[in-house]
């Protein structure tokens, strides 16, 4: 019989999956679910040691000889403090001890309840990582979280320089509940592997990865990234493989064919029409930071239940699993890694094509399905671009039309800065050639600082920079105008004035709420012309497609001829723009 607590079973299975073979257990009541789970797992060798101090040093001895991770299990209260001498020794010896400590629910800490103290981070100075989880994480999302935390703890312990970690598990009654078998959730025992940067030069590893990929349907996502010529070349090589689809975002700072950036347009087409499940990717390879596209994240999370694997490429400070399907962390420079991987894939395909075993029916079918995947998405991308172009061309004056006109005329040598909200989202929709580089503060996606960031960047770029912002973001960061004025930044600004936070008229969570305009959109009602001129910006205004085209001709063409900073206010209809955007993406 196993413990009925899925969270506990999940943690023990992840520890075993990462190579834990020995567990030193100390008796107690709060840790009863952990002891039950350890007892039921025949793949774990258990030792029962009453004194936690001695247990810790016993585990240290096992780890030093086996060079493998060793788990410790104790109850709540001062029990874990007795681990401290052995944990400190393991920290400085570089030995991976995994301390799993039972704790009381958070609400009972410091409430004069029996055997409670502040256990989380109690050994913070002598462990590589401290983790706090609860058995109240009961649904699929909760198990995904606990699984991710347990994987992250093990990867941290085993990553050079190796060392101890502490998983503090808050357990609530009943503690003695039993079950015939653990949860069948796909997150219960998922193991996330890691390939370190030291392993990447190993040709055997690259060869094994390439062999795995050549018969699979591959979707590569590229989130925000600094300009990187090596990555750009690698992606261009990778997209030549017929089983590879690339979805890149504007602020990825890659220069790929324009259809690779029509992310939301393609996915809205997928959502509208019938598409075969065979066209779901087998493996998603992610590069760069957080994705702007909610559609892309939801699409891949939907594929996770069908066995999607996710390989995350690049350095991360923690286990990042946005698609809920992470199977491998690859700690390598993305450009160099993908370049070598693409070349090896080409080589492995050549070897397979020369092999007569390819005539096997199953083999041929897998090969053809993978090739069809790329072809399907190529057609879908072109159809989506035509649809978005036709749709935009047929609209009356709106924010969508205004952005299309702005992007059509955008000079290739500009650095483009985008505020959060609708500005960054329109760039995900409209097909256009990217400028020299594109930036947006998408690390945490706050409204603040867009103008100041653009001013700082403009001062260090040897050409012109352009900020496209909204009236709300603009009024939020007037300090950026001070910077641009004081230091004479070669920065032009386009303010899309839609009377407040236009995104709140569009997103489902706020678009139909009472008090939307007052409490969410919050029209700043600022005099943009007066502000612009007070900071030394030459002011322009457009309120129609015709006037916008006219002013942009002057705006862009004269940029190199004058050091004068310019600001263009574009007045767009608020409600109509939100309706058009909803219709386009629904």
Domain spans of the chain, in order of start: 2-187, 195-373, 399-585
Residue 558 predicted with pLDDT over 80:
no
Q: What is the spatial distance between Cα 581 and Cα 175, in angstroms, rounded to a whole number?
A: 52
Per-residue pLDDT, 219: 96
Per-residue pLDDT, 216: 92
Going from the C-alpha of 373 to that of each of 218, 277, 301, 330, 380, the distances in angstroms are: 8, 11, 18, 24, 11
307 near 280, Cβ under 8 Å? no
Residue 264 predicted with pLDDT over 90:
no
Q: Where are the alpha helices (DSSP H) in 20-68?
A: 32-40, 52-66
pLDDT in tens, 301-325: 989 888 899 999 998 888 899 999 9
Per-residue pLDDT, 278: 64
| pTM over 0.85, yes/no | yes
Residue 161 predicted with pLDDT over 80:
yes
Domain 195-373 adopts which CATH fold?
Answer: Rossmann fold (3.40.50)
Average pLDDT over residues 407-414: 90
Residue 190 predicted with pLDDT over 70:
yes
Residue 274 predicted with pLDDT over 60:
no
Going from the C-alpha of 58 to that of each of 83, 87, 164, 372, the distances in angstroms are: 11, 11, 14, 56
In this prediction, residue 184 has a pLDDT band, given cuts at 50, 70 and 90, of low
Residue 509 predicted with pLDDT over 70:
yes
Per-residue pLDDT, 94: 96
Residue 361 predicted with pLDDT over 70:
no
In this prediction, residue 183 has a pLDDT band, given cuts at 50, 70 and 90, of low
Tokens matching residue 267: 């996915």
Lowest mean pLDDT across 97-111, 132-146, 171-185, 565-579: 171-185
User: How close are the terminal C-alpha atoms of the chain, in Å?
Assistant: 49
Per-residue pLDDT, 489: 92
Average pLDDT over residues 477-491: 93
Query: In the beta sheet, which residues pair with residue 415?
Result: 437, 465
Average pLDDT over residues 386-410: 89
CB neighbour list of residue 70: distance below 8 Å, 6 or more residues apart: 20, 22, 23, 24, 59, 60, 62, 63, 96, 97, 98
In this prediction, residue 488 has a pLDDT band, given cuts at 50, 70 and 90, of very high
Residue 272 predicted with pLDDT over 60:
no
pLDDT in tens, 93-148: 999 999 999 999 888 888 877 778 899 999 999 999 999 999 888 777 889 999 99
Average pLDDT over residues 487-499: 93
Per-residue pLDDT, 201: 75
Per-residue pLDDT, 111: 83
Per-residue pLDDT, 113: 78
Residue 362 predicted with pLDDT over 70:
no
Per-residue pLDDT, 32: 93
Going from the C-alpha of 247 to that of each of 77, 85, 266, 292, the distances in angstroms are: 50, 50, 9, 12
Bigger pLDDT: 168 or 196? 168
Domain 2-187 adopts which CATH fold?
Answer: Rossmann fold (3.40.50)
Would you say how long the chain is, in residues? Answer: 586
At residue 424, φ and ψ (nearest 5 deg) are: -70, -30
Average pLDDT over residues 31-38: 94
Average pLDDT over residues 231-235: 96
pLDDT in tens, 365-389: 777 778 888 888 998 899 888 888 8
Bigger pLDDT: 39 or 276? 39
Architecture of the CATH domain 399-585: 3-Layer(aba) Sandwich (3.40)
Per-residue pLDDT, 95: 96
Q: Residue 337: enclosing H or E segment and its boundaries?
A: helix 334-353
Residue 426 predicted with pLDDT over 70:
yes
pLDDT above 90 covers a percentage of the chain that reads 62
Average pLDDT over residues 262-281: 75
Does 195-373 match 2-187 at the fold level? yes
Going from the C-alpha of 340 to that of each of 206, 231, 354, 412, the distances in angstroms are: 8, 11, 22, 30
Residue 357 predicted with pLDDT over 70:
no
pLDDT in tens, 514-527: 888 888 888 888 99
Per-residue pLDDT, 126: 95
Residue 496 predicted with pLDDT over 80:
yes
In this prediction, residue 502 has a pLDDT band, given cuts at 50, 70 and 90, of confident
Residue 501 predicted with pLDDT over 90:
no
Per-residue pLDDT, 49: 96
The torsion defined by the Cα of 229, 231, 232 and 233, in degrees rounded to 10, comes to 90
Bigger pLDDT: 577 or 217? 217
pLDDT in tens, 8-24: 999 999 999 999 999 99
Q: What is the spatial distance between Cα 173 and Cα 176, in angstroms, rounded to a whole number?
A: 8
Per-residue pLDDT, 520: 86
Q: What is the spatial distance between Cα 554 and Cα 273, in angstroms, rounded to a whole number?
A: 42
């Amino acid at each position: 019989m196993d413990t009925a607590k899925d969270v506990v079973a999940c943690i023990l299975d992840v520890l075993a999956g990462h190579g834990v073979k020995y567990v030193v257990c100390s008796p107690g009541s709060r840790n009863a679910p952990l002891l039950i789970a350890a007892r039921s797992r025949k793949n774990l060798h258990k030792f029962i040691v009453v004194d936690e101090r001695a247990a810790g040093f016993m585990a240290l001895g096992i780890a030093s000889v086996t060079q493998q991770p060793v788990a410790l299990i104790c109850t709540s209260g001062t029990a874990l403090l007795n681990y401290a001498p052995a944990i400190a020794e393991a920290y400085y010896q570089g030995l991976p001890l995994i301390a799993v400590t039972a704790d009381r629910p958070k609400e009972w800490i410091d409430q004069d309840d029996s055997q409670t103290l502040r256990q989380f981070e109690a050994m913070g100075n002598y462990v590589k990582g401290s983790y706090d989880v609860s058995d109240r994480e009961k649904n699929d999302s909760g198990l995904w979280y606990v699984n991710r935390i347990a994987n992250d703890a093990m990867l941290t312990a085993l990553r050079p320089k190796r060392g101890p970690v502490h998983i503090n598990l808050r357990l609530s009654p009943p503690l003695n509940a039993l079950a015939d078998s653990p949860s069948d959730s796909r997150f219960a025992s998922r193991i996330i592997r890691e390939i370190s940067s030291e392993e990447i030069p190993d040709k055997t590893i690259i060869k094994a990865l390439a062999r795995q990929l050549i018969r699979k349907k591959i979707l590569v996502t590229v989130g925000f990234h600094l300009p990187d010529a090596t990555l750009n070349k690698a992606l261009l090589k990778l997209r030549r493989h017929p089983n590879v689809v690339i979805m890149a975002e504007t602020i990825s700072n890659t220069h790929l064919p324009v259809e690779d950036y029509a992310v939301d347009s393609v996915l809205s087409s997928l959502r509208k029409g019938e598409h075969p499940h065979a066209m779901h990717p087998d493996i998603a390879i992610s590069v760069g930071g957080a994705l702007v596209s909610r559609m892309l994240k939801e699409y891949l999370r939907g594929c996770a239940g069908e066995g999607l694997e996710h390989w995350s490429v690049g350095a991360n400070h923690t286990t990042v699993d946005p698609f809920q399907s992470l199977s491998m962390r690859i700690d390598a420079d993305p450009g160099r890694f993908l370049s070598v991987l693409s070349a090896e894939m080409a080589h492995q395909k050549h070897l397979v094509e020369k092999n007569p075993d390819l005539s096997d029916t199953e083999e041929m079918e897998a090969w053809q399905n993978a090739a069809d995947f790329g072809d399907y998405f190529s057609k879908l991308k072109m159809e989506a671009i035509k649809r978005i172009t036709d749709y935009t061309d047929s609209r009356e004056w709106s924010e969508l039309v205004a952005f299309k006109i702005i992007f059509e005329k955008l000079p290739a040598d500009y650095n483009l800065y985008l505020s959060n909200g609708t500005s960054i989202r329109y760039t995900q929709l409209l097909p256009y050639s990217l400028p020299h580089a594109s930036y947006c503060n998408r690390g945490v996606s706050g409204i603040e600082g867009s103008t100041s960031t653009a001013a700082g960047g403009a001062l260090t770029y040897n050409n012109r920079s352009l900020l496209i912002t909204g009236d709300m973001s603009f009024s939020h960061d007037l300090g950026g105008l001070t910077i641009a004025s004081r230091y004479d930044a070669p920065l032009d600004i386009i303010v899309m004035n839609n009377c407040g936070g236009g995104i709140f008229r569009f997103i489902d969570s706020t678009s139909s709420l009472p008090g939307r305009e007052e409490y969410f959109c919050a029209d700043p009602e600022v005099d943009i012309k007066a502000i612009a001129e007070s900071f030394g910006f030459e002011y322009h205004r457009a309120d129609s497609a015709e006037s916008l085209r006219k002013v942009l001709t002057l705006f862009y063409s004269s940029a190199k001829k004058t050091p004068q900073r310019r600001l263009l206010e574009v007045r767009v209809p608020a409600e109509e723009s939100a309706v058009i955007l909803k219709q386009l993406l629904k």
